Amino acid sequence: MPITVGTDSAKTRRTLSVGGSSVAYYSIAAAEEAGLGSFGKLPAVLKVVLENMLRFEDGKTVSLDDIRAFSDWAEKGGRNPREIAYRPARVLMQDFTGVPAVVDLAAMRDGIKALGGDPQKINPLNPVDLVIDHSVMIDEFGNPRAFQMNVDREYERNMERYVFLKWGQKAFNNFRVVPPGTGICHQVNLEYLAQTVWTDSDQNGEEVAYPDTLVGTDSHTTMVNGAAVLGWGVGGIEAEAAMLGQPISMLIPEVVGFELTGAMMEGTTGTDLVLKVVEMLRKKGVVGKFVEFYGSGLDTLPLADRATIANMAPEYGATCGFFPIDAETLRYLRNTGRDEARVALVEAYAKENGFWRGADYAPVYTDTLTLDMGTIVPAISGPKRPQDYIALDRASTEFGKFIAGLRGAKDASASAEVRWEGEGGAPEPRDIPGDEGHHNKGWYKDAQEAAHQLHDGSIVIASITSCTNTSNPYVMIGAGLVARKAREKGLTRKPWVKTSLAPGSQVVSHYLEAADLQKDLDAIGFNLVGYGCTTCIGNSGPLEEPISKAINDYDLVATSVLSGNRNFEGRISPDVRANYLASPPLVVAYALVGDMNVDITTEPLGEDQDGNPVYLKDIWPSQKEIADLVERTVTREAFQSKYADVFKGDEKWQGVNTTDSETYDWPASSTYVQNPPYFQGMSMETKPIEDIKGARVLALLGDMVTTDHISPAGSFKETTPAGKYLVERQVPLREFNSYGSRRGNHEVMMRGTFANIRIRNEMLDGVEGGYTKGPDGEQTSIYDAAMAYQEEGTPLVIFGGEQYGAGSSRDWAAKGTALLGVKAVVAENFERIHRSNLVGMGVIPFEFTGGDTRNSLNLTGEETVDIEGLSGDLKPLSEVPARITYADGTVKEITLKCRIDTAVEIEYVENGGVLHYVLRNLAAA
């Protein structure tokens, strides 16, 4: 489908000749010549957005004044928050967030049909790639059969979802699916899909070159910024609007320049660097801002390390962390198998249009900060937040402080080793009929014996996982070398550690095997378990029964160490209270020692065959060892080979059968995919925004309430509202799967909203989990209370603290909030994506003003809330009056800032949400 460009009234379209062929492009220099301003000092990341304005300038959606605003931005020292309409080139999805997006598209086809419109109008106008990467779970580990057995279970659990996605691939134009077992979406994007400079035909049939840009339904879409591709995460709701041709309404952002100088020291990794970057930028405060990396340090920073830094932009709070195009960008594109013609185009376009980072690159930034990479030391981050940076030599000490704070007045004996002297004794070993692998009587005896040694700080999960680090061959080869050296000295994982290796693409397995390192990883338990997010998204799978029983019976603080990007409470495993992010080599080292109480910088990891102590320095590879192996095994041919049939899939995927139909035949009995209620009974009429009157408090929440707290992705028990729903439909516990896999069923997801096992509703004293007070004042589940209030016709409000909605770009955190009947969320401030998602679902976000907080107002959850000033002529970012009536009748008047940020967002709320807005416009057309 050709791209539709603007009218080019400013005459900025020019021609670029590359390798004997010509291509059109929109010239920033031509815009300057046309008198639209001076753009030479703009950061490269903002030039990408400026080019978008030039290409889509039509005098209406994008005006010449929008273009001039970028010149004003530079003149005003990096600030000019003008509202603009931005159109990304494409959309990236993964299956957890992608399934509900495709569900919504299917429901919109039903909806437009009911409004008398054409279902074929519901089709992506921009290219959409959905990569199935979030569904594989680590049921099996530590043996050669783990990969195949996990894949088999993945298909057993998720066949309904895969049938639906395959239907979507047939039914919708411009929509491709990358099958399970290929890799993680961000790594597939970085290694294959991304082009840095894109080309396509316009509506006149002429070839046009322009920067590769995208939005994705996963917050770590930012990873591809390491290759100078501007992309960031949005909720599925916003992504659907973008794919249907709706521009993204945004303010011209501030851009913080992060200068990197010096070079990494021996013994450090790209992971150590990014953890320091996360800490620094969180302290700086970059929510809603772009970050661009510059400086002489980039001359020695491989693109793999850049991608690691860019990946974790959500963890430091920025919209993106961008690296301009330079010689390293070209080297990476060439080495990963891109066509030579594409690489030549990227270089010529970047130099011609002012995107190239040369020696004289010195743009204007809103603000800056500097880091000498020579000061980086080995580090981890945890136990609850990615920004909680800990130098490795302080890790055991800081863990001790965490335990002391957590235990408080609790009996110190809770940290003693488990001796199975409790009631009932140890679980009996058992045989599993027909299974001659490690799941046999002998293995259970080992697990039982291992459980005897558990205590606070025992590492029960060590996982090389996630897009963040498995995309980086330097740390992956490093992990393999640590495994090799440990194996040579006779070390292996501790028996209570569940070890796993889940690479982000098949290329990783190729070079680990080519380097002869996979057998070393296998020998100490890091067998391949699947190609997907696994532990990082909460698909760590169950711990062995004796291990889990010991942790829960004795209230132990078990820990995990993973090479991921997220370690929020309740995310990794329900049995694990402390989670640490680390480089893949450190994950291997921690599996060997099995205990966070050990200072691995000074204490031995174990003993060799002769009884001599083995220290971390004894098995840590040199940078030269790593670099030599990377040079020899990470080849252009490997990438070309592994991505040759990326959309074909294996025999299992090819065997998934589905129907050819314009609209989806929703299976009534499905517990995975159901027709959502958003568009049912919808008319062409919109409703004006109304004041909120007589609202009750559903939850009173603290700081850093993440989208994992609001809408967890992991497993759940049969006693939860979601579990009861499935039990009532004869779904056995073994087949529950996860919240993330059931995002196509609104009934499950409503029941899972605010249901994280670690969420704390301050309306209740010391209670963890998804509970609140119902209309009768008694404790009940949040879902049951919300349904009771809905029956009464009572609107609901949520109160929160700082950084409300941090974390994943999880549309269900907003969808579930809306379906529970919440009309407003009031917090001290919001993370960018979740605020946008709330508006996209018709829920209004508000921020406290004047120093008010839930604490200063002494809120208990017993209050009634009225918010006025919404009806009539509401303007973006208005301050409105609110009235809080306390249980004793006392009334407090306060002012709230309405975080409907742009004019088009007001229209979204008036329509009941962005999808309703798009659907009505398409039906009217």
Which residues are within 8 A (CB) of 538 and not within 5 positions of it... i.e. 6 or more apart?
A: 571, 572, 573, 712, 713, 714, 715, 738, 740
Chain centroid, CA 878 distance in Å: 31
Residue 50 lies in a domain: yes
For 896-923, what is the mean pLDDT?
A: 92
**In the predicted structure, residue 439 carries a pLDDT above the cut 60:** no
Same domain for 448 and 339: no
Q: Tell me what pLDDT residue 2 has.
A: 77
- Confidence at residue 414, expressed as pLDDT on a 0 to 100 scale: 40
Q: Which two tokens stand for residue 721?
A: 């509202």
CA distance 647 to 613: 49
Q: Please tell me whether residues 65 and 115 are part of one structural domain.
A: no
Task: Please tell me whether residues 793 and 699 are part of one structural domain.
Answer: yes
Q: Report CA torsion sign: 44, 48, 54, 59.
A: negative
**662 domain residue, yes or no:** no
Say if 381 falls within a structural domain.
Answer: no
289 and 422 fall within a common domain: no
DSSP-assigned letters across all residues of 180-205? TTSB-HHHHIIIII--SEEEEEBTTS
- Domain final residue pick, 603, 634, 665: 634
For 209-266, write each residue's pLDDT tens digit: 999 999 998 889 999 999 999 999 987 888 888 888 889 988 999 999 999 999 999 9
pLDDT, tens digit, 9 for 90 and up, residues 817-853: 999 999 999 999 998 889 989 999 999 999 999 999 9
| CATH number for the domain harbouring residue 913 | 3.20.19.10
The answer to whether 737 touches 679, Cβ cutoff 8 Å, is: no
What confidence score (pLDDT) does residue 445 get?
Answer: 59
**Residue 542 DSSP label:** P
pTM, two decimal places: 0.86
Does residue 102 contact residue 164 with C-beta atoms inside 8 Å? yes
Distance CA 605, CA 598 (A): 8
Place of tokens 């049921």: 139
Q: Read off the pLDDT of residues 286-307 as tens digits, 9 standing for 90 and up.
A: 989 999 999 999 999 999 999 9
525 and 548 share one domain: yes
Domain boundary among 24, 51, 86: 86
pLDDT one-digit tens code per residue, 460-476: 999 999 888 888 999 99
Over residues 348-356, the mean pLDDT reads 97
| Residue 393 token pair | 């030599």
Average of per-residue pLDDT across 47-64: 96
Check: CB of residue 605 under 8 Å from CB of residue 589: yes
Q: What residue numbers bound the domain in which 462 lies?
A: 408-634
Instruction: Render pLDDT for 318-343 as a digit per residue (tens, 0 to 9).
Output: 999 999 999 999 999 999 999 999 99
> For 370-377, what is the mean pLDDT?
98
Neighbours of 627 (CB within 10 A): 15
pLDDT at 249: 85
Average pLDDT over residues 266-280: 96
Domain count, the chain: 4
Residue, of 431 and 562, whose pLDDT is higher:
562
Instruction: Judge residue 245's burial from the number of C-beta atoms within 10 Å of its C-beta, 0-12 exposed, 13-18 middle, 19 or more buried.
Output: middle
* CA–CA gap between residue 755 and residue 369 (Å, rounded): 39
Using CA atoms, how far residue 489 sits from 113, 482, 515, 597, in Å, is: 68, 11, 19, 23
Mean pLDDT, residues 726-738: 92
Asked if the structure places residue 655 within a domain, the reply is no
Share the mean pLDDT of the chain.
92
Give all strands of the β-sheet with 207-211 in edge-to-edge order: 13-18, 21-26, 207-211, 197-201
List % helix, strand, coil for the chain (3-state, nearest 5). 40, 20, 45
Q: How confident is the model at residue 391 (pLDDT cuts 50, 70, 90)?
A: very high
98 and 82 in one domain?
no
Statement to judge: residues 757 and 825 lie in one domain: yes
Q: Stretch 526-543: mean pLDDT, rounded? A: 90
Query: Per the domain annotation, does 576 fall within a domain?
Result: yes
Check whether 437 has a pLDDT greater than 70: no
Residue 402, in any domain of the structure: no
Do residues 51 and 183 both lie within one domain? Answer: no
Query: What's the pLDDT band for 433 if we cut at 50, 70, 90?
Result: very low
Q: Are 76 and 125 in a shared domain?
A: no
Least confident of 393-402, 517-526, 808-817: 808-817
Last residue of a domain, one of 61, 86, 111: 86
Residue 103 pLDDT more than 70?
yes
Same domain as 296, residue 195: yes
Is 387 part of a structural domain of the chain? no
328, 252 Cβ separation under 8 angstroms:
no
Q: What is the pLDDT of residues 121-164, one digit of tens each?
A: 899 989 999 999 988 989 999 999 999 999 999 999 889 899 99
- 191 to 95, 126, 152, 182, 283: CA distances (angstroms): 19, 21, 26, 12, 32
The pLDDT value recorded for residue 448 is 78
pLDDT of residue 419: 36
Q: Convert the pLDDT of each residue in 404-432 to its tens digit.
A: 998 874 443 344 344 333 333 333 333 32
pLDDT at 1: 64
Query: Is 670 inside a domain boundary?
Result: no
> What is the reported pLDDT for 783?
98
Q: Are residues 723 and 761 in the same domain?
A: yes
The CATH code of the domain that includes 531 is 3.30.499.10
Q: Of 290-304, 366-380, 422-436, 675-689, where does mean pLDDT reach its minimum?
A: 422-436
Contact 589, 464 (CB under 8 A): no
Question: Are 81 and 42 members of one domain?
Answer: yes
431, two tokens = 């045989």
Please state whether the peptide bond connecting residue 127 to the residue before it is cis, i.e. omega within 30 degrees of 0: no
